[in-house]
Amino acid sequence: MLRLSHGVRRASLYEGRLKYLLNNEWKESAATEYIPVHNPATQEVVCEVPKMPLSEMNAVAESSAEAYKSWRETSILSRQQIMLKYQQLIKENKTEVAKLITREQGKTLADAEGDVHRGLQVVEHACGIPSLMQLKGETLQGLSKDLDIKSYREPLGVVAGVCPFNFPAMIPLWMYPVALMCGNTFIMKPSERVPGASTLLSQLLIDSGLPAGCLNTVHGSHDCVNFICDNEHIRAVSFVGGNGAGEHINNRAAGSNGKRVQSNMGAKNHGIIMPDANKNATLNQLVGAAFGAAGQRCMALPVGIFVGEAREWIPDLLQMAKDLKCGPGHEPGCDVGPVISPQAKEYIEGVITQSVAEGCHLLLDGRNTTVPGYEKGNFVGPTIITGCKPGMRAYEEEIFGPVFCTVEAETLDEAIALVNSNQWGNGTAIFTNNGATARKFQHEIQAGQVRMEYLYLRITFFKVGINVPIPVPLPMFSFTGNKKSYVGSGHNFYGKAGVHFYTQLKTITELWRAEDATELKAEVAMPTMK
Ligand code: NAD
């Protein structure tokens, strides 16, 4: 049995009433209200999250500000050693983190391991921080006689992250490894629906040697987020989640309080299926991307645009979707786990019902799915809605469930126009065996279509897959997004943009005149820097 340094069982960290992390100690909250965390396959309450009072959250921010004073002076090489150890500990504890994800979020164990693995890749990338920081500065010597200019990146100070429920490991790991390696201290607010993985990952970072106060946590829901938006010590906020919270955070933290914000929000990704694509590979990819994780991925593919004769493949797709097994994520052979809550199930089933009323055809109906032995689980079976059109609810809204909408188009141009007029801008994909088709798609997608209200001061792009249904970039690239899927200062997550987000440039212009040692007369005219 694994124990913490003071002898307490490690598993007690994510059982019962959760504690919060302050100065590398897990503290009991004086909260009077707790949010129950349910296993979505059974409704069993697995732990409870405190709604921390303001006084505790203020103490957390004070601790982070204090820790920053010495952490920013800690050499980059020392910081790097901690991250190297951390990546090793995550590898060793991957299965335990994955089990917590399945218990609280519902996804299958294999998928949960993928969740940890994609986060681990960011940690591995952050291990290269000396080169990452070095590449982000610039110097130019001898600009004019004895004058040099150099710029380098410095940390911001205390920064914070607010996380969603759907990737309990990967998304926290998008945030603090890069932020900490850049020299910031970090306040993590895990999703109140899936706090376990984030708790264990925080403990592993303490075990890796992170000094006290560099990573602290706060727990709660809206009040806790508002605290992060308002607290004077916090300089930047990373957010991933839905549009309601993301736009609110941008308005309050950036708009009212002048903080830097990166906010990755909702999505409705479209895939174009060309008749020349590899049929079997494409259908397998569509089924995985639409129904994997019960459709609860921001990079899921909930809309398929079948061009020309590709529409004849829909019956085969139906058969493959029917073969998927719904069940609790921990059971071997299960393909589609439960959705996060009874409310989510009700919402998803409501959209499916309305799609029929709006004239769509339900090729496969996942409503009222029950799993023997798990009758209370929030299961929705794979669902295929055909005949969807823009303007219909099932087409427009982010359903975030195992629901695949098919749309038909006569030409590639028509399909590209549909993708370009999609209000969301997270990702898209094309399936084709024709290089020229792929190139045209890659070139024309999103051209000139970005809605002005989402363009304010931003340079963002989105993710395009060519025969890749879920093109989530590896961490040496950034996780981009645009239109209604992103708001903020223009910096995306990880990659170069991640380092830019968590740092600020300082530019030094220095003149060390060769003859200066003996020069005594002051210059009073405006320096021309010649
Ligand atoms: P959510 O917005 O409900 O919650 C995310 C976080 O925001 C939580 O920590 C929650 O406590 C907080 N929050 C929620 N409502 C709030 C409010 N009104 N005021 C202040 N704080 C609030 O999101 P979720 O349901 O946990 O996650 C699913 C959403 O996340 C989907 O829309 C999905 O597309 C999106 N997502 C986007 C990406 C991306 O990179 N674009 C990645 C993963 C998930």
Ligand 1: nearest atom to the Cα of 226: 20
Residue 394 structure tokens: 């099932």
What is the per-residue pLDDT across 182-222, written as a single tens digit (0 to 9) for each?
A: 999 999 999 999 999 999 999 999 999 999 999 999 999 99
Residue 239 C-alpha to ligand 1 middle, in angstroms? 8
**% of residues, the chain, pLDDT over 90:** 77
- pLDDT for 130: 86
The closest-lying atom of ligand 1 relative to the alpha carbon of residue 493 is 40
Ligand 1 atom 17: residue of nearest CA: 245
- What is the rounded average pLDDT of the residues 222-244? 98
Parallel, antiparallel or unpaired: strands 34-38 and 45-50? antiparallel
Closest to 264 in 3D by CA, of 501, 441, 93: 501
| pLDDT interval class at 477 (50, 70, 90) | confident
DSSP secondary structure code for residue 255 in this structure: I
Ligand 1 centroid–CA 266 distance in Å is 8
Give CATH for domain 270-423.
Answer: 3.40.309.10
Task: Annotate 304-332 with three-state secondary structure.
Answer: EEEEHHHHHHHHHHHHHHHCCCECCCCCC
Per-residue pLDDT, 529? 67
Res 451: pLDDT? 43
Q: Is the pLDDT higher at 177 or at 2? A: 177
Query: What is residue 264's DSSP assignment?
Result: E
Q: Give 486's pLDDT tier (boundaries 50, 70, 90).
A: confident
Q: Please name which of 90, 152, 158 lies closest in space to residue 126, comparing C-alpha atoms.
A: 90
State residue 524's pLDDT score.
85
The candidate with the shortest Cα–Cα distance to 175, out of 142, 135, 215, 203, is 215
* 340 CA distance to ligand 1 middle (Å): 13
Q: How far is the CA of 241 from the centre of ligand 1 (A)?
A: 2
Predicted confidence band at 389 (pLDDT cuts at 50, 70, 90)? very high
Q: Residue 260 burial (CB < 10 Å; 0-12/13-18/19+)?
A: buried
Residue whose token pair is 């004019």: 144
Residue with CA nearest ligand 1 atom 28: 241
pLDDT score recorded for residue 473: 83
Return the ligand 1 atom nearest residue 163 CA.
9
d(CA 51, CA 46): 17
CATH class of segment(s) 25-266+494-508: alpha beta
Residue 101 and residue 115 in contact, taking contact as beta carbons nearer than 8 Å: yes
Cα distance between residue 169 and residue 323, in whole Å: 29
CA contacts within 13 A on the Cβ side of 419: 32
Q: What is the pLDDT of residue 449?
A: 40
Do 25-266+494-508 and 270-423 come out as alike in CATH topology?
Answer: no
Q: How confident is the model at residue 463 (pLDDT cuts 50, 70, 90)?
A: confident
Task: Using the predicted structure, report yes or no on whether residue 464 has a pLDDT greater than 60.
Answer: yes
With both helix axes pointing from N to C terminus, report the angle between 109-126 and 94-105 in degrees, rounded to the nearest 10.
130
Predicted pLDDT at 199: 98
Residue 27: per-residue pLDDT: 97
Q: Residue 516 — pLDDT band, cuts 50, 70, 90?
A: confident
- Ligand 1 centroid – CA 530 distance (Å): 53
Taking only the tens place, the pLDDT of each residue in 12-59 is 999 999 999 999 999 999 999 999 999 999 999 999 999 999 999 999
The answer for 293, left when phi > 0, alpha when psi is -120 to 50, beta otherwise, is left
How many angstroms separate the CA atoms of 66 and 475, rounded?
A: 30
Tell me the longest C-alpha to C-alpha distance in the chain: 91
Q: DSSP letters of 413-449? A: HHHHHHHHT-SEESEEEEE-S-HHHHHHHHHHTTTT-
pLDDT of residue 24: 97
Exposure of 341 by Cβ count < 10 A (0-12 exposed, 13-18 middle, 19+ buried)?
Answer: middle
CA of 377 to the centre of ligand 1 (A): 22
Is the pLDDT at 136 greater than 90? The verdict is: no
Question: Which among 224, 265, 399, 482 is the best mutation to test ligand 1's pocket, defined by most ligand atoms within 8 Å of the CB?
Answer: 265
pLDDT tens-digit readout, 268-303: 999 999 999 999 999 999 999 999 999 999 999 999
- Ligand 1 atom closest to Cα of 221? 11
Residue located nearest, by CA, to atom 21 of ligand 1: 222
So what's the pLDDT on residue 448?
Answer: 39
Nearest to 242 by CA among 260, 225, 219, 218: 225
Of 107, 115, 218, 222, the residue with max ligand 1 atoms within 8 A of its CB, to mutate for a pocket test, comes to 222
Domain definitions of the chain by residue range: 25-266+494-508, 270-423
Residue pLDDT, tens place only, 372-381:
999 999 999 9
**pLDDT in the model for residue 373:** 97
Nearest CA to ligand 1 atom 39: 264
Q: Mean per-residue pLDDT for 501-523? A: 83
Which H/E stretch holds residue 120? Answer: helix 109-126
Residue list, ligand 1 pocket, CB within 6 Å: 162-167, 189, 191-192, 221-222, 225, 240-242, 244-245, 248, 264-267, 298, 398, 400, 426, 481, 485
Of 47, 229, 298, 405, the active-site residue reads 298
Output the pLDDT for position 519: 60
Residue nearest to atom 43 of ligand 1 (CA): 298
Residue 456's pLDDT is: 40
Ligand 1 centroid, distance to 264 Cα (angstroms): 9
pTM: 0.94
Mean pLDDT across the chain: 92
User: Going by CA atoms, what residue is nearest to atom 24 of ligand 1?
Assistant: 164
C-alpha closest to that of 181 among 136, 130, 119: 130
Which secondary-structure segment (H or E) carries 248? Answer: helix 243-249
Q: Which amino acid is at 453?
A: E
Q: Over 50: is that where the pLDDT of 396 sits?
A: yes
- pLDDT greater than 50 at residue 224: yes
pLDDT of residue 5: 72
Q: Is the dihedral of CA 201, 205, 206, 210 positive or negative?
A: negative
Model confidence at 309, in pLDDT bands (50, 70, 90)?
very high
- The identity of residue 108, as a single letter, is T
Query: If we measure between CA atoms, which residue out of 321, 407, 427, 323 comes closest to residue 364?
Result: 321
- Which residues on adjacent β-strands are paired with residue 270? 303, 428
360 belongs to the catalytic site? no
403-461 per-position pLDDT tens digit: 999 999 999 999 999 999 988 888 899 999 999 999 999 999 874 344 444 444 344 56
Q: DSSP string covering 183-234, please?
A: T-EEEEE--TTSHHHHHHHHHHHHHTTPPTTSEEE---SHHHHHHHHH-TTE
Q: Give phi and psi for 200, each to the nearest 5.
A: -65, -40
pLDDT value for 137 = 67
For the record, the structure tokens of 410 come out as: 């006569």
Q: Are strands 403-409 and 424-425 parallel, antiparallel or unpaired?
A: unpaired
Between the alpha carbon of residue 48 and those of residues 31, 44, 170, the distances in Å are 11, 11, 22
Least confident range of 164-178, 236-250, 404-418, 481-495? 481-495
What would the two tokens of residue 82 be? 């901690």
pLDDT in tens, 101-131: 999 999 999 999 999 999 999 999 999 998 8
Q: What share of the chain in percent tops pLDDT 70?
A: 95
pLDDT at 530: 62
pLDDT at 249 over 60: yes
Structure tokens belonging to residue 21: 């992390």
Of all residues in the chain, what percent are helix, strand and coil, respectively (each to 5)?
40, 20, 40
- Tell me what the mean pLDDT of segment 158-180 comes to: 98
